[in-house]
Chain A
Amino acid sequence: MTKAKKLPLDGVRVLDLSYVFAVPYMAGLLSDLGAEVIKIEAPHKLDQTRGRAFGPYLDNDPAQDPWNRSGIFYVVNRGKRSLALDLGQEKGQEIFRDLVRKSDIVLENYTPRVMRKWGLNYDELKKIKPSLIMLSNTGYGSSGPWSAFPSQGTTLEATMGVTFYTGYEGDKPWKVGQSYPDFIACWAGMNALWAAIVHMRKTGQGQWIDCGMYQLGLSLIPEALIQKQLDGTDRPRIGNEDLEHVPSNLYRARGDDQWIALTVDSDLRWAKLAALMGHAALAQDPRYATAVARRAHRQEVNELVAAWALQHTVVELMPLLQAQDIASGPVLNSKDLFIYEHLQHRGFYERVDHPAPIGPRPIIGRPYRLRFRDAHIKKSGPRFGEDNDAILRDVLGMTPEQIAEIKANKVVCDLPTNPGISGTMDTDMMLRLGTLSAVDKDYRSIMGVDR
């Protein structure tokens, strides 16, 4: 069969008023799936991903237009057009309402009071466009005693429960990864959006989606919520280990800061691992032969595996273990991921051309392949206000005179009016602290984008 021609959102227009990670990422994915996405940016308040807070700037150089040089911005905002529109002005609100008439979906993550203040909350907008689907993403949702509380992913990870169950054994709770709740919100929001799209296509009726990030955390820790109700106990923090399967842990491999993860989930696989380690007799040893015995001798098992793993590189270990059907893999860092053969084979990163001076870059695509539809990153993320004129002219039919007038009144701006502090990463200090493990001058050629 050949590919079907249409992407699921061909002909759909999305207005994206959002900032940072969760909702901008949703809108980026909708663009990959065919939508025309217009990112509406406030002239006086840059998306934090355009600036110092989240950088990094291209080659750590803010240059004259730092807001057009931030890497993270280009990843989550790929495929979009940019309109820098001041929604605080009445004229800006009028332009926005005109855009809503010609759009299908609105995405935003202001705190609940902001859209109401501008008269742009869902109840108002659906009067203009009854089939409109609107998603509001907030820390705590639109209702409840905490609804007005400010939040961001990092603090929510603790509040939503994931942090309590994360950490080294015997240590305090730990935050792990980067802005985890944002991605949960992105995917949960996509679920709601697609359900709403199906409903709208069937009935013509739009609706409003109230996404509160805090409560999403519950869905990720059912084991802990159930255990507490079952017997009043808390699931323990046990680092990288597993309550049931031993060994299931991270072990240092040969080389500089190299680690192999492996999980043995049956006695048969333990026997295979024992043979690999050159101690076949461990499979019969009553201290280790059964899952129950290994749980009772966690430390000894870990020591045995650790001593063996340290003699080999991760490149040797993974195929050895996988050949024995043992779940295993190395700790990969951000550089490894770009050059990893499996991801390259899968086409996970898409090569996207960016305006000078950035040039081509591999950009994270989607974690799934569609066999019959060509989902892809359409183009790079936009420079600030890049599509101002084109959108006003082509979508709203404005004349050059009208455009000149609203720009003169700073309703639409070609440059940010309050770009804030720019600054660079102190890479030397970060290398000293170990929070950066390397800075490769030749990263372009390593990623294969120097041509």
Chain B
Amino acid sequence: MQSALQGVRVLDLSHGIAGPFAARLLGDYGADVIKIEQPGKGDFARYLAPLKTDAAASEQSLLFQYLNWNKRSVALDLRLASSRPVLRKLIENSDIVIESFKPGRLESWGYSVDQLLEWNPTLVVTSVTNFGQTGPYAHYRASDLTLQAMSGIMAISGQVDREPLKHGLSQSFYCAGLTAAYASTMAYAAAQADQFGEHVDVSIHECLASELVLNQSYYGFLGAVQGRRAVVQDPFAGEPIAARKGFLAFQTGGGAPFETLADLFGRPEFREAKFASPPQREKRVPEVRALLEECVQDRDAKEVFLAGATKRLLIGMVQSADDLLNCEHLNERQAFAEVAHPATNTHLQFPAELTKLSVTPTKVRRRSPMLDEHRHEILSVHLGLNASEIAQLDTQTSMERPS
């Protein structure tokens, strides 16, 4: 079956998580992705944990493997003049370029967006940076933590008498990768339609700030500044509640009326008028909470989750990596793909599919590349350089390289 982006050529000049994740998603839809890496060291994500420490230094990162399958790798030092004709050829042979250098960095090497568009007028250039290409903070440094802090998400998270709290792991960069990927495809579709290229300027900070649609409305429509969560929280606002084994998350407002909880737990109290509506429950939060905690303290989270779902109650359960890797539903949906890698001698289960498209499936066609693995294939087969041209490039590169 044909992939949706089959024939689309992507040049991945980016590094870290967000840009490479975006380029990989396009690869999953069938695009041919060439990754350009710094000679010697490669993408810094090659050193991000989790690491398989018995592999070669640049091949240890299992996270890199997740972010870079469906790509081929060539090492090319963009700072060197000898790289210029090669990069130009690559640009001329690409539809989408994804980059994540600091604003102005590519331009300082002679690769402004204007220059790239002169070489290829229908090209889409997607830049993924912390705060975007413009504005007073364009050059500011950031981390997942500082981005979450500045996005507004932390101001509404955590307990009111404790410090604000971030989402775990590195959420900012995955959010930005998802956005940069669709924005690139969108701009590509537009460029194909009118034969006019585009520069997409993605701000990771704004990707997160885009999540505040509800909370900023509190201010925008009534001047209310939302704070963190109450010391004793409404137990139906998703705060994990401890079961005998595991934690549950409850929410009201689904298909089932509130009193369904009385059936689920065999507790008629949930039918009482004093709990019937949200405003009434808001007045006695500690009481409702204590009742709910009592109901689940002798039950396992998963058992309550499954029983609640059949009664159409909105109940979630806190699941760990282990739970997810062994989930009967995810297995049935084939949400994981096993990807083997010779450099680490691993064959791990990776999440490999976001959504199911009925005609054009997503697919892991090749494992992530080792650094510079496809040098010959790309320079000679893809770009048509002959042996002496490649030898000349190698000589110039070694002469120019700052020692």
Contact = CB atoms under 8 A, between A and B. Distances in A.
A410 to B, nearest CB: 23
Contact of B251 (A154, A230, A371): A154
B380 interface: no
Interface in A176-201: 176-180, 183-184, 187-199, 201
B93 interface: no
Contacts of B229: 435
B228 to A, nearest CB: 7
Contacts of A184: 175, 178
Interface string A5-40: 111100000000000010001000000010000000
Contact of B348 (A111, A149, A208, A229): A229
Given A191-B25, A191-B185, A152 B194 contact: no
Contacts of B183: 368
Task: State the majority secondary structure of interface residues on B.
Answer: mixed
A443 B249 contact: no
Interface string A343-381: 101101000000000100111101111111100000000
A440 interface: yes
A111 to B, nearest CB: 8
B72 to A, nearest CB: 21
Contact of A159 (B2, B205, B319): B319
Interface residues of B, number: 158
A122 B359 CA distance: 12
B375 to A, nearest CB: 27
A157 B66 contact: no
A93 interface: no
A438 interface: yes
Nearest to A217: B324
A439 B210 contact: no
B216 A337 contact: yes
Interface string B13-34: 0000000000001000100000
Contact of A443 (B49, B223, B315): B223
Given A33-B186, A345-B136, A219 B113 contact: no
Contact of B193 (A8, A158, A165, A333): A8
A399 interface: no
A88 interface: no
A46 B298 CA distance: 38
A363 to B, nearest CB: 8
Contacts of A190: 178-179, 182, 186
A332 interface: yes
B226 A435 contact: yes
A63 interface: no
A96 interface: no
Interface size class of A (residues with CB under 8 A): 35 or more
Interface string B202-234: 110111011111111111111111111111000
Interface stretch (A79-87, A243-251, A273-281): A243-251
Nearest to A155: B316
B223 A75 contact: no
Interface string A136-178: 0000111111111111101111111111111110001111111
Contacts of B178: 184, 187-188, 190-191
A71 interface: yes
A228 B325 contact: yes
B281 interface: no
A267 interface: no
B203 A346 contact: yes
A330 B154 CA distance: 10
Contact of B194 (A4, A146, A437): A4
Given A8-B186, A367-B207, A322 B140 contact: yes
A239 B25 CA distance: 30
A442 B179 CA distance: 35
24 contacts: A8-B193, A33-B186, A56-B221, A152-B253, A159-B318, A161-B323, A162-B167, A180-B167, A199-B359, A211-B355, A215-B335, A217-B324, A224-B321, A250-B164, A337-B212, A342-B135, A348-B206, A361-B220, A364-B213, A373-B187, A423-B279, A434-B160, A435-B227, A436-B224
Interface string B276-310: 01110010000000000000000000000100010
A203 B168 CA distance: 42
Given A155-B238, A429-B282, A443 B185 contact: no
Interface in B142-161: 142-143, 145-158, 160-161
Contacts of B171: 162, 180, 220
B228 A434 contact: yes
Contacts of B388: none
Given A152-B253, A215-B353, A259-B163, A334 B225 contact: yes
Contact of B249 (A158, A218, A427): A158
B141 A144 contact: no
Interface in A194-235: 194-199, 201, 203, 205-212, 214-230, 234-235
Interface in A299-352: 322, 325-338, 341-343, 345-346, 348
A412 interface: no
A60 B224 CA distance: 10
B166 interface: yes
A338 B137 CA distance: 16
A166 B254 CA distance: 25
B354 A194 contact: no
Contacts of B219: 334-335, 338, 440, 443, 447
A234 B320 contact: yes
B328 interface: yes
Given A75-B213, A175-B239, A441 B223 contact: yes
B89 to A, nearest CB: 23
B249 A343 contact: no
Given A203-B2, A262-B146, A371-B201, 19 more contacts: A142-B356, A151-B316, A190-B182, A198-B5, A207-B358, A210-B358, A211-B355, A214-B329, A218-B351, A222-B350, A239-B163, A244-B49, A263-B145, A328-B146, A333-B227, A338-B219, A346-B206, A370-B198, A372-B199
B325 A229 contact: yes
B189 interface: yes
A343 B136 CA distance: 9
B120 to A, nearest CB: 14
Contacts of A54: 214
Given A59-B222, A234-B321, A338-B216, A226 B201 contact: no
Contacts of A94: none
Contact of B196 (A72, A197, A217, A372): A372
A401 B81 CA distance: 73
A183 B250 CA distance: 20
Nearest to B236: A154
